[in-house]
Amino acid sequence: MKTSEKGLDLIRKYEGVRFAAYVCPGGKLTIGYGHTGPDVYEGKKIDAEEANELLEHDVERFERSVNELVHVPMTQGMFDALVSFCFNLGAGSLKSSTLLKKLNGGDREAAADEFLRWNKAKGKALAGLTARRESERELFLA
């Protein structure tokens, strides 16, 4: 599966875009729409086109992860929500999550509720993460 525009819009909304490198609430050096990695360094600047290219590249990586990890049929909303989740937290978080276990076990409703548990950075609940997880849950159930 591939991420829909609705899924990309959700990622863009919660990531926001920054054209200069910054440290995110999770403590990682970040640029564009939440892009992290060895190519991001203090003082780095990009333009809107590069921000979109990085987003597309990053989303493809998480699409592959979701397609590999989920072993039950998914709606587009479920897929988009899971890609957003992985984009924000990493595929390793999904891989080891109760969310994935419940989803692959066929309990869609219980899996949806698990999104809400992932609203903390450095042990503190953040309003932005709480709102994102609620939006992901809503899209997952759509």
Per-residue model confidence as pLDDT tens digits over 41-73: 999 999 999 999 999 999 999 999 999 999 999
Residue 109 pLDDT class (50, 70, 90 cuts): very high
49 in active site: no
* pLDDT score recorded for residue 72: 98
Quote the CA–CA distance of 109 and 126 in Å, as a whole number. 24
d(C-alpha 52, C-alpha 23), whole Å: 19
**What pTM did the predictor assign?**
0.87
Q: What number does CATH give the domain 5-141? A: 1.10.530.40
* Catalytic member of 15, 63, 114, 136: 15
pLDDT for 24: 82
